[in-house]
Every structure is written in structure tokens, then in C-alpha cells.
């Protein structure tokens, strides 16, 4: 029975022995739990003892054994003897008073060699050697498995670190490309603003040049219109002053003609336009000449007096362009030099700007912006004309 017990299993044995005290048969239940049984199996089989005891009824002694030393026959018999209620042996008592006959001779101390017991002892030694070898193999297997598990965890940790490093590198590259794209976009916006500013400057110069040409053409057309109006008024006269002068020459005496001086010819056209057409110069009368020569002299005077009107371009001169421009762009003194004392750094707006949100300010050309803070190369902050404090583009103003 002892040889059938395995140190790696949970087993149960039921045997019958003879009580050394009373000589009666006793039944022994052995609960065998080997030393190599796992703790999980021990916990699962802890409640099986009562079930086996109910199945194998009539057990007088229950022995819990873990090693072969616990199931030695001597130890089992000792526990059975201790478990019996009395030490009375009726078999011994009956033969106690009987005559046993002559005593046998005393034998020697020599004991015969029992081959079976020797074989059992050798088998037991082989069994324990095998058990120790199996235990050593089990420990080596556990150590090998633990080493494999450790290597697997280390390999997974390295792979995870490599993946995390690759992810960080990818995120860094994505962030770098995003920053480069933002810088490129800002550069494009700055170039677009510069081009827009240059276009505005070019448009302003073209507009000023166009206005100057318009003013010059308007004045020239006005002068031409006045000259045409004067020519039409002269053409619409019903009486020719030359005919009146000839009629007066015929009726007047010769001495009156020679002595008198011709005066200015007064006409409605000359009265209407005193500043447009200058009066013809009066010729000097020849006082030392005689009467017969008075008629030719009068004809010469008539030719000098009623000469053709001068060209309208000579009559209506154009005023100088510088005076007109100076008069048009003349500003009041208080506008050109506003009072900016105590207002910090100030600037004048060159273009109009509308705020995109509540953090910016709006202004029109020639507005004054005060208390300017140069927070950036392209954007400043200051107080606008409405008193609101916010940001604005720096290239839209000029410092005072």
C-alpha cells in the first residue's frame, strides 16, 4: 500500500488492522496529500475528507499523512492502540494460566536476511531518487518558463518603446510641417499686404494724376466756351460799328474830323465782358497835318480801331496750376498740427481699416491714433479715434 501512494497526488486509503491490545479488527482511513501537490489542488480537495468518510463507513481511526513516514505500519499500529478504549486482551488472559510446557532454548541474535524487505527498501530508495529528480526537473522547467516570460516581457517593452518613439517622431514631423506651413502662409499674407499697399499707392497716384488732368481739361474747356460765347455775341450784333463810323465821317465837316480825337467805341458786348476782351488802343491824332490829309488819317484810325478780335487763347489765359492745387489742398492750421501732448507715441492713418473683431480698431485716412504700443513688427496697439483700445496693422499708419 505504501508503494502505491504518490507524492504528487491526493489519495485516500482504507485498511483493516488488528488491534494489538484487544486483538479485534480495526478499520483505518488514511487521507494522503503528497508533498508535491499544488496549493490550488489542496484547497479544492480539503472538503473531500468528510465525503470519503461517509462513503467508507466504519473507520475507527483517521490518519492525515503527507510522507511515507506517516504511513509506516508501526506508526499506524501505535495510533490504533492509542485509539482503543481498553488495553484488555482476552486471548492473552485465557492462555495466561495455561502450562506452556518446557521453555525453548534461547536463540542467537542472528537474523535471516529477508529478500523481500531488501527489495522493498531498494525500491523505496529508487522511488525517492526518482522523485527528487522529477522535482529538480520541475524546478528547472519553472525557471526556464520564468526566463522565457521575462524575455517576452522585455521584448514587448522594447517594441512598445520603439513604437512610442516612432509616434513621437511622427508627431514632431507633423508639428514641424504645420509650423512651416503657418510660416509660409504668414509670409504669403505679408507679401499680399505689401502688394496691396503698393497697389493702393499706385491707385492713389493715378487718381491724383487723373484729377489733375480733369481739372486742367475742365479749365481749358471753360476758356474755350467763353471764347466761343464772345464770338457768338459779336456775330449776333445787328449794327456794325464800322458802318456807323463811315456814316459819321461823311456827315461831319473836315475841320471837326481833323480836330477831334476818336473815343472808345462802346458796345453792349464790351460792357458785358470788361475783363474778358481788352479795349483796343486809341491811336494818337496827327495834329500838325492839314485838312486834306484828314480823310486818310481817319481811315487809318478806323483800321486801327476796328481790328479783328484777338484769338481766344490769348484772351483767356489759364491760371497757373500751382495756385489751383495749393488752394485745393490747403488745410487748417489746427488740423495739420493737432495737440498730441501727453498721448504717448502717435501716428496718422494712411488708409481706412475696418476691425475684424473686438480686439482691433477701425479708422479712416487722416485719423490720429494715440498711445501706440509696438507689440510686433506687423501689428501695433493703440487708442483709435472712437477711444477704443485695440490692434491695427502697422503698415497702415505713419508715425508723427
Indicate if the pLDDT at residue 255 is higher than 70: no
pLDDT exceeding 90 applies to what percent of the chain? 28
* Pairing relationship of beta strands 25-33 and 61-65 according to DSSP bridges: parallel
The verdict on domain 331-399 having CATH code 2.40.50.1070 is no
Average pLDDT over residues 202-228: 79
CA distances to 217, 318, 326 from 323, rounded to whole Å, are: 16, 11, 5
Across the strands, what pairs with 33?
10
Average pLDDT over residues 211-220: 80
- The pLDDT of residue 95 is 52
- Phi, psi (5° rounding) for residue 174? -65, -40
Q: For 276-327, what is each residue's pLDDT tens digit? A: 444 444 343 433 334 333 334 444 444 444 444 444 444 444 444 444 444 3
CA distances to 103, 106, 148, 154 from 157, rounded to whole Å, are: 87, 81, 14, 5
Indicate if the pLDDT at residue 40 is higher than 50: yes
Please tell me the pTM assigned to this model.
0.25
Question: Which range, of 22-36, 345-359, 369-383, averages the lowest pLDDT?
Answer: 22-36
Average pLDDT of the chain to the nearest whole number: 74
Cβ–Cβ under 8 Å, residues 20 and 34: no
The CATH classification number of 1-90 equals 3.40.20.10
Residue boundaries of the structural domains of the chain: 1-90, 237-315, 331-399
Q: How many CA atoms lie within 13 A of 362 on its CB side?
A: 5
Indicate if the pLDDT at residue 141 is higher than 90: yes
Average pLDDT over residues 28-54: 83
Indicate if the pLDDT at residue 251 is higher than 80: no
Amino acid at each position: 500500500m505504501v508503494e502505491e501512494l504518490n507524492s504528487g497526488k491526493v489519495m485516500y486509503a482504507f485498511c483493516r488492522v488488528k488491534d494489538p491490545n484487544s486483538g479485534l479488527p480495526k478499520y483505518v482511513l488514511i487521507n494522503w496529500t503528497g508533498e508535491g501537490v499544488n496549493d490550488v489542488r489542496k484547497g479544492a480537495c480539503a472538503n473531500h475528507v468528510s465525503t470519503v468518510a461517509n462513503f467508507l463507513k466504519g473507520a475507527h481511526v483517521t490518519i492525515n499523512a503527507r510522507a511515507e513516514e506517516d504511513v509506516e505500519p508501526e506508526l499506524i499500529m501505535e495510533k490504533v492502540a492509542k485509539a482503543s478504549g481498553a488495553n484488555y486482551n482476552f486471548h492473552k488472559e485465557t492462555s495466561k494460566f495455561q502450562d506452556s510446557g518446557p521453555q525453548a532454548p534461547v536463540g542467537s541474535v542472528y537474523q535471516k536476511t529477508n529478500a523481500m524487505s531488501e527489495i522493498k527498501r531498494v525500491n523505496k530508495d529508487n522511488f525517492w531518487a526518482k522523485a527528487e529528480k522529477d522535482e529538480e526537473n520541475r524546478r528547472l522547467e519553472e525557471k526556464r518558463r520564468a526566463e522565457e516570460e521575462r524575455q517576452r516581457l522585455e521584448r514587448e517593452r522594447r517594441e512598445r518603446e520603439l513604437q512610442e518613439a516612432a509616434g513621437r517622431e511622427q508627431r514632431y514631423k507633423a508639428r514641424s510641417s504645420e509650423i512651416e506651413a503657418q510660416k509660409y502662409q504668414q509670409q504669403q499674407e505679408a507679401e499680399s499686404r505689401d502688394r496691396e499697399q503698393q497697389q493702393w499707392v499706385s491707385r492713389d497716384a493715378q487718381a491724383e494724376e487723373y484729377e489733375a488732368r480733369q481739372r486742367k481739361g475742365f479749365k481749358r474747356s471753360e476758356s474755350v466756351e467763353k471764347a466761343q460765347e464772345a464770338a457768338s455775341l459779336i456775330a449776333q450784333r445787328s449794327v456794325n460799328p464800322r458802318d456807323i463810323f463811315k456814316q459819321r465821317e461823311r456827315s461831319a465837316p473836315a475841320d471837326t474830323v481833323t480836330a477831334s480825337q476818336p473815343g472808345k467805341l462802346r458796345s453792349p458786348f464790351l460792357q458785358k465782358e470788361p475783363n474778358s476782351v481788352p479795349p483796343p488802343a486809341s491811336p494818337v491824332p496827327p495834329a500838325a497835318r492839314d485838312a486834306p490829309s484828314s480823310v486818310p488819317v481817319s481811315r487809318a484810325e478806323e483800321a486801327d480801331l476796328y481790328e479783328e478780335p484777338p484769338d481766344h487763347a490769348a484772351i483767356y489765359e489759364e491760371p497757373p496750376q500751382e495756385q489751383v492745387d495749393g488752394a485745393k489742398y490747403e488745410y487748417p492750421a489746427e488740423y495739420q498740427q493737432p495737440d498730441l501732448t501727453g498721448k504717448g507715441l502717435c501716428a496718422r492713418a494712411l488708409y481706412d481699416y475696418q476691425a475684424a473683431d473686438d480686439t482691433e480698431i477701425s479708422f479712416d485716412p487722416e485719423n490720429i491714433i494715440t498711445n501706440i504700443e509696438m507689440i510686433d513688427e506687423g501689428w501695433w496697439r493703440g487708442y483709435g479715434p472712437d477711444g477704443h483700445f485695440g490692434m491695427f496693422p502697422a503698415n497702415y499708419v505713419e508715425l508723427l
